[in-house]
Chains A and B, each alone.
Chain A
Amino acid sequence: MSAQTVASADAVDALWTLLDTARGVVEELRQDGLLDALSDVLGCMLPEDREAVLRILEHDAGGRNQVRDHVWSRFVLRPNPFAQIYTRPSMPSRPLGIRYLESRRATVVGARLARSLPPPVEEGWEPRTVEMWRGLDPAARALIVDTSRRILEGLEAHRRRVQGS
């Protein structure tokens, strides 16, 4: 056996530590029943939704850290991405419920539906669409416009982040 094919003791130790940590995480999730629950939840979804939902979970897990009753928000510092600051509110945080998760899913489904549309070629809107808008009270109109503007601002920030990365 050549020297190049023999891993160093340090490398083996590091690999062993990594595997042991991974085994511990999987074992912990299995004991809590969370691994099975996660598999069941993903199994109930439309296959094409699974990746999008996992991306949401990854994003949330990356940006937050739950310590007892507090949700800590993480700030990654530049230029050193390994330096991080966590902040927490002074009051215990209420865990995010199904309403929050469903609303986040609505964004993903809505975007997918929008993407399924052909490129816009027509000017104007169907009379039924115009009538629906004109039938709204001012408060509802203001809420819709405000929500759309906030979403567009969020999309612009997202675009800058994606194109800058």
Chain B
Amino acid sequence: MYENERPLPAVTRDTLLRATIQNTALMASFAEPVRNEVQRALVAGLEALELEDAEALARHHEDLLALAAWCSRTELAEAEAS
């Protein structure tokens, strides 16, 4: 929600990751047409980004995919060990 003079929230690498995880996971509960529309809009929004913003967003999503991969490997190792 917009509020005048309200600064953007201060984030850390992990709070931003958790916000993305939480918000995207919420999309799983949307009806498929709504989910598709939101995904389409998220991707379309990339067109308007400055290069520095785009690079920062890429680092964020690469970090998120690295987290997902690390968790998968860890869970697999735990399953094999038990």
Contacts and interface: CB of A to CB of B under 8 A. Distances in A.
Contacts of A134: 71, 75
Chain A binding surface SS class: helix
A52 B52 CA distance: 13
A155 interface: yes
Interface string A113-142: 111110010100110111011101001110
Contact of B11 (A44, A55, A116): A116
Given A103-B37, A111-B56, A116-B11, A144 B49 contact: no
Interface string B38-79: 111111111111011111111111111101101100010000
Interface string B1-43: 0101110110111101110111111011000001101111111
Interface residues of B, number: 56
B25 A149 contact: no
Contact of B51 (A46, A106, A148, A159): A159
Range for the number of chain A residues in contact with chain B:
35 or more
Contact of B37 (A100, A125, A152): A100
Contacts of B54: 111, 155, 158-159, 162
Contact of B45 (A107, A115, A116, A133): A107
Contact of B58 (A102, A144, A152): A152
Closest 7 CB pairs of A and B: A107-B45, A103-B41, A115-B56, A104-B45, A111-B53, A114-B56, A140-B25
Interface of A: 44-46, 49, 52, 55-56, 59, 99-117, 120, 122, 125-126, 128-130, 132-134, 136, 139-141, 143-145, 147-152, 154-156, 158-159, 162-163
22 contacts: A44-B4, A46-B8, A99-B41, A104-B41, A104-B45, A104-B48, A108-B53, A110-B16, A111-B57, A114-B59, A120-B13, A125-B14, A125-B67, A133-B71, A134-B75, A147-B24, A151-B46, A152-B58, A152-B62, A152-B65, A155-B49, A162-B54
